[in-house]
Amino acid sequence: MTCSIPTGVDLPPAPPTPETLAYSLTLPAAPQSPSIARAATRVVLRAHGLQDVTDAAVQVVSELAAYACRFTPTAEVYVSLRYREGALRVNIYDGHPRHAHARLSAACDARRRANLRVLACVVRACGGDWGIGAAGEPGGGARMWAVLPREGARGFTGVDAA
């Protein structure tokens, strides 16, 4: 049996647009992985015509990936970039399990929030939102996410104007 070859006119694929941005990658939980995540984010944003949000997006990806790689007890972290409804959505999953005890869970979330102060500032400057929650994956773990509206992230330069 042979594979069939499509007949007719082969049209070139449509060029990437912001609306088609949907990428995921699994990285080792290693010190060099945040750098790889930053580089991948730059390439993906450029390919999809979102260069104007690169400064904010790269900072957000860097903060989340660095935290996840440093504190996950597993060998890998998972990074997801999506563009939907005028905003870049960044999700990072790590293997740190959610604590069953309410106080331990609250303390762990507080520690994460304290360590992600720069992320909070960037997201706030862009008019976005971020959070921490259960991964909802079969292996468990935590999900950290950030939403960067394009209009807000477009004006972010990483430098305080004041």
3-class SS of residue 99: coil
Read off the pLDDT of residues 71-117 as tens digits, 9 standing for 90 and up. 888 899 999 999 999 999 999 999 888 788 889 888 988 888 899 99
- Does 127 score more than 80 pLDDT? yes
Find, among 46, 121, 45, the residue nearest to 89 by Cα: 45
Read off the pLDDT of residues 37-70 as tens digits, 9 standing for 90 and up. 999 999 999 999 999 999 999 999 999 999 999 9
Q: What pTM value is reported for the model?
A: 0.86
Find, among 98, 77, 104, 90, the residue nearest to 41 by Cα: 90
For the chain, domains (ranges, CATH) are: 21-154 (3.30.565.10)
Indicate the residue type of 29.
A
What are the φ/ψ torsions at residue 116 (nearest 5 degrees)? -110, 35
